[in-house]
């Protein structure tokens, strides 16, 4: 079973940033209002995510590390209208098969927190307030072949922070902060989505952006567009969400690029944070753990909607 779970883990846990994504999504699913990420040595030594969410009952701590143990879904029908981010019940188990995992958690009605280490046989009492801290130690130390594929700590840390940004931009009501090797690198206070989106675009765009919000509830586009500034836009400032989920989709990216080129007559790169809302029946979100792809029923209609929304907004600000 070790081999099977390590292979499965490869799909979920490609690199430290994939661990970060899963842990952040769990914290959000738990209703957290404040989430803190700490990484050491690019996440290879330690990744820690703390939240002030509902916590895990002491008796369920061991279960949380077990494959297909999810508290989020009861039946196949439920799977089809799943509202939470995680629902496969395999992330923590997969991570625990390639790293040491320690969960410290406390529910609101518990007299104290409990800590469960994947290397220990049972949970023991601990100090802590309501919420959960999941720590992942020495990722891939037992699977050196996998570790070989990782880049430098600096690069892996950058991917981890990018994973945090992607999640944070879609959840402006939740406060997020991040530390890399003890140094605070990100601090998003809870607030309005425009503020959060601007935080994602970067300071360069403080006075050079435009908000859009158009279209019917079944196919609409909202977000912030960076306008050309002295500094060149960077590809890592392109965030696209479909119904709240971060995606990298060629149709969407092409529509935006074409709209920028159409209005600005150049090959200027675009910087943006855009949210597409679409009738869920018209889109197939690939729920493969590591993937961020979507398939649209009518991709031309989506392309048109995005192109026009972005082009009109850029034209209005150029006028």
Binding residues vs ligand ADP (CB under 6 A): 22, 26-27, 29-30, 51, 53-56, 64, 69-72, 86-93, 132
Per partner kind, with CB cut-offs from 5 to 8 A, the member of Mg ion, ligand ADP, none near residue 53 is ligand ADP
Q: Which residues bind Mg ion (CB under 5 A)?
A: 26, 86, 91
Torsion angle, alpha carbons of 73, 79, 85, 86, to 10: 50
Q: Is 1 helix (H, G, I), strand (E, B) or coil?
A: coil
Between residues 78 and 213, which has the closer beta carbon with respect to Mg ion?
A: 78
87 binds, among ligand ADP, Mg ion, none (CB under 5 to 8 A by kind): ligand ADP
| SS3 label, residue 15 | coil
- Alpha carbon distance 100, 118 (integer Å): 6
Query: For residues 27 and 178, which CB has a smaller minimum distance to ligand ADP in the complex?
Result: 27
For Mg ion, which is the closer residue by CB, 26 or 50?
Answer: 26
Q: Are residues 286 and 242 in contact, defined by beta-carbon separation less than 8 angstroms?
A: no
C-beta of residue 282 within 8 angstroms of C-beta of residue 296:
yes
Closest separation in Å from C-beta 20 to Mg ion: 12
* Encoded tokens for 41: 């040595």
- Alpha-carbon distance of 136 to 315, in angstroms, equals 48
* Shortest spacing between CB 125 and ligand ADP, in angstroms: 18
Residue at shortest CB range from ligand ADP: 86
Q: What's the CA angle centered on 278, arms 275 and 284, to 5 degrees?
A: 105
Minimum distance from residue 288 beta carbon to ligand ADP (Å): 13
**Which residue, 160 or 201, is less far from Mg ion as judged by CB?**
160
30 binds, among ligand ADP, Mg ion, none (CB under 5 to 8 A by kind): ligand ADP
Whichever of 89 and 228 has its CB closer to ligand ADP, that residue is 89
CB of 279 to ligand ADP, least distance (A): 25
> Shortest distance, CB of residue 161 to ligand ADP, whole angstroms?
19
Chain residue at closest Cβ approach to Mg ion: 86
Which of residues 91 and 150 has its CB atom nearest to ligand ADP in the complex?
Answer: 91
Residue 263 interacts with, from ligand ADP, Mg ion, none (CB under 5-8 Å by kind)? none
Q: At what angle do helices 153-169 and 193-201 cross, to 10 degrees?
A: 160
Rounded to the nearest whole angstrom, what is the least distance from the CB of residue 254 to ligand ADP in the complex? 32
CA distance 50 to 16: 16
Least distance to Mg ion from the beta carbon of 23, Å? 8
34 binds, among ligand ADP, Mg ion, none (CB under 5 to 8 A by kind): none
Residue with tokens 């949210």: 275
- Tokens 């607030």 -> residue: 191
**Comparison of 89 and 202: residue with beta carbon closer to ligand ADP:** 89
Q: What DSSP character marks residue 203? A: G
Q: Which residues contact 278 (CB under 8 A, 6 or more apart)?
A: 218, 219, 220, 242, 243, 296, 302
Mark out the alpha helices in 129-267 (DSSP H runs).
144-147, 153-169, 193-201, 250-264
Q: Which does 132 bind (CB under 5 to 8 A by kind): ligand ADP, Mg ion, none?
A: ligand ADP
């Amino acid at each position: 079973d070790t081999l099977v779970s390590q292979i499965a883990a490869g799909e979920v846990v490609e690199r430290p940033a994939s661990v970060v994504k899963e842990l952040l999504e769990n914290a959000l699913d738990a209703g957290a209002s404040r989430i803190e990420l700490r990484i050491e040595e690019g996440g290879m030594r330690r990744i820690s995510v703390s939240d002030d969410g509902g916590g895990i009952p002491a008796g369920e701590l061991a279960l949380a590390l077990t494959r297909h143990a999810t508290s989020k879904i009861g039946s196949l029908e439920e799977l089809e209208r799943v509202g939470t981010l995680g629902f496969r019940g395999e992330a923590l188990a997969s991570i625990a098969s390639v790293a040491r995992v320690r969960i410290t958690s406390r529910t609101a009605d518990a007299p104290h927190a409990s800590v469960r280490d994947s290397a220990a046989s049972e949970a023991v009492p601990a100090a802590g307030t309501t919420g959960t801290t999941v720590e992942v130690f020495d990722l891939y130390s037992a699977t050196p072949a996998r570790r070989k594929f990782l880049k430098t700590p600096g690069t892996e840390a950058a991917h981890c922070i990018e994973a945090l940004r992607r999640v944070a931009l879609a959840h402006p009501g939740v406060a997020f902060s991040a530390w890399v090797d003890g140094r605070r690198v990100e601090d998003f206070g809870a607030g309005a989505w425009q503020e959060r989106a601007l935080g994602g675009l970067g300071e360069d765009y403080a006075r050079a952006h435009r908000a859009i919000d158009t279209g019917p509830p079944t196919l609409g586009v909202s977000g912030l567009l960076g306008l050309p500034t002295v500094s060149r836009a960077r590809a890592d400032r392109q965030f696209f969400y479909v119904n709240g989920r971060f995606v990298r989709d060629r149709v969407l990216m092409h529509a935006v690029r074409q709209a920028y080129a159409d209005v600005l007559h150049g090959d200027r790169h675009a910087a943006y944070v855009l949210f597409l809302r679409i009738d869920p029946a018209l889109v197939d979100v690939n729920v493969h753990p590591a993937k961020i792809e979507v398939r649209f029923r009518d991709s031309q209609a989506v392309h048109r909607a995005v192109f026009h929304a972005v082009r009109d907004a850029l034209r209005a600000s150029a006028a």
